[in-house]
Structure 1
Amino acid sequence: MVVWCERCDRSYRTSHALNQHVRDSPNHHECPECDFDCATWDDLLDHCRDEGCRTVCQGCNDGSGSHWEFQCDEYWDHVEDFNVCTQCERHFTSSSHLHQHRLSHRKPTYECYQCTRTFKTYGGMIIHLERRTCSNIDYTDLNKLAAECYKWNYFMDERYRDELLNEGDTVYDVAPLEKEVFLTKAWFAMYWDKNGGPPEEKYKKPNTLTEKEIS
């Protein structure tokens, strides 16, 4: 009985011969999970993504991509070994580069304490405050906000805290970490963006300043 491959417009004497052709031909790319026959390799990867039958990593094979048994241990070992972003399937040279890249996928969920702008990282919001791009706060207000944190002693010398809480005239700007003075954007940006996690897990959100306190 003659069988036909419509895609390649060729006939075969037996089903076995046709199946051998499908396995070997560059015009056929079968899904190992559901036997769906794709015309191209890229079509197969798209099929795996759309159906969720296999886990795809586009960064493999110099960008040609690969597919794995869905969420298998080997895939997650690969993710760790090659610093893979599981959202866009890219490989990175180091875990720190991957961490920085992941920030691009974040939604801006950190709302400024004094205005309606939102940011992707807590450190980014602090930098917004300290650079005075927020018109509703000044350095004195920012120092007071930091002094109200319940773990203020992690980054502030106790000799300065009372003055900051009372909105003293002295402004403490960014300083080297080894000095015992109050640190603002440099410390916040470094600590939160390096260690991750929502700030409320480690800090109590300061009370919102009233219009009287701002003026």
Structure 2
Amino acid sequence: MFSNNTKFFDHIRRQTALEQQRFQCSHCSKRFATERLLRDHMRNHVNHYKCPLCDMTCPLPSSLRNHIRFRHSEERPFKCNYCDHSCKNLIDLRKHLDTHSKEPAYRCEFEACNFSARSLCSIKLHYKKVHEGDSEPRYKCHVCDKCFTRGNNLTVHLRKKHQFKWPSAGHPSLCLLCFAWCFDIPVAFPL
């Protein structure tokens, strides 16, 4: 499983033949299929602070500390005064505090639609689902071909229906087909 479409397509592009990999690193001569993959690789030469928990590299120790705090730590020092909810940063706490207000902050601008919501995210999702006709399924299960309109619904489906598991100890596994880092997959692939 991949956390988003970009990571999936990057994974696919890394499988391209060497002669199609036109972008070459000036430091180590490694070649890449896209300019963005080369840019991601170049961070390894420029950024000298590597996260001990994942492949992320950072230019400064403070950037690495922030990365670890937000991506790998469960610490949530910002506590809500109205409920048990806590957040990793003040911005998220302010967004959460909006949920305690009874007044909707956003209203749909379409005539004859009286939808309202407390968050900008909710109003945008409403607009996409109801007014843009964005209910076309875009995510397809590679095991049973069932389609989903949201990526997180596909993830839940893979975990419940096909028993896909999150990586043990929170670390990805090395795919033996393409040597990319992937989640644990309960399917035996012939080599």
TM-score, normalised with respect to structure 1: 0.25
When Rg is computed on C-alpha atoms for both structures, the one with the higher figure is 1
TM-score, normalised with respect to structure 2: 0.28
More helix by share: 1
